[in-house]
Amino acid sequence: MARKVAANRHARLLAVAELLSPSLNGPSSHRLAKIIEAGALDSEVAIPAQSSVSEEDLAWLAGGFASLSQERLSFWTTELENLTRRGVRIVDSAEEEYPTNLRMIHNRPPFLMVRGTLAGDDDRAVAVVGTRKPTPRGRDAAYEIARELANRHVTVVSGLAEGIDTAAHSGALSTGGRTIAVFGTGIDVVYPPRNRALAEAIARSGACVSQFWPSLRGTRWTFPVRNLVTSGLSLGTVVVEAGETSGSRLQARAALSHGKRVFLLDQLVRTQPWARDILKRPGAIAVDCVDQILSEIEMDLATDIAVVV
């Protein structure tokens, strides 16, 4: 019964999201996340009196529910059953399983489609990212950094792209560690296709996640949006190698805007002017070993615990 209720709830979410945030991106997506966290998804429009959701938000949601068709609700009910058979489930931002780190950023998505498992230990996560065309030195560095992090019980987050991302996922898997792949496509579309076997291995020991519609193919805008989630899932981002126009540079900026750490390898700082510019900003640190990364995130974790206490 609980599973059926969850399926009906998620069918409503996906059907109303089609109307209110068809790209699952930008202010409408973030607004939807905030509204469903207030409990509106369960009651449709009855939001608790003490909620921070505004009357304008309530009216926006009510308009979406008023426009829902039974046809689309039925479609998403069936599609959720199909996704379940393919090993995919929905985790929305009101659910306990939604990753804690991601919940803390202002531009979090309203839901993730997940193949694999999300775990409480993923709160201790670091993103390792970089160019799709690394040098052999950069590829080796990404592999070893991810391997060492995984050996220290840190979940490695990356974007499944060729180059640095592939090396990072592979490094974490090589030691039996956890890794999360954040898709810049829908959960049913593995990109690049040559990483299909890698994605299957990641799902077995960690998770593949996407904030997009299941069959969406990657576009010029979906991969930068993916970087926001990659940053959000992590305590900090390690940039191994990246040029001036790299998406990893954008992720470094996103991480700083999220209040996260950005770790720039010394070699990157020496060779890239953009890295030297970012290094001037609070939260950006040049590193040459995993111990430096761990020292910083452990300090942040200790600070967070102290604040909670």
Residue 38: per-residue pLDDT: 85
Average pLDDT, 10 consecutive residues per value, the chain (309 residues)? 59 95 94 88 55 81 90 95 96 96 95 97 96 96 97 97 97 97 98 97 97 94 95 97 88 95 96 95 95 88 46
Residue 154: per-residue pLDDT: 97
Nearest-angstrom CA–CA distance, 224 and 141: 23
Residue 43: per-residue pLDDT: 57
Residue 3: per-residue pLDDT: 46
Residue 1: per-residue pLDDT: 37
Place of tokens 């429009």: 45
What are the angstrom distances between the C-alpha of 180 and each of 122, 165, 177? 9, 11, 10
Q: 15 with 76: CB under 8 angstroms?
A: yes
What ranges do the domains of the chain cover?
2-85, 120-308
Residue 293: per-residue pLDDT: 95
Q: Is the dihedral of CA 264, 268, 271, 275 positive or negative?
A: negative
Helices (H), the chain: 2-20, 27-37, 40-43, 55-66, 70-85, 100-103, 136-151, 164-174, 196-205, 222-232, 247-257, 266-271, 273-278, 290-308
Other beta carbons within 10 Å of 51: 15
Residue 136: per-residue pLDDT: 96
Residue 62: per-residue pLDDT: 87
Residue 6: per-residue pLDDT: 56
Domain 120-308 has CATH 3.40.50.450: yes
Dihedral pair phi/psi, residue 175, rounded to 5°: -110, 15
pTM: 0.92
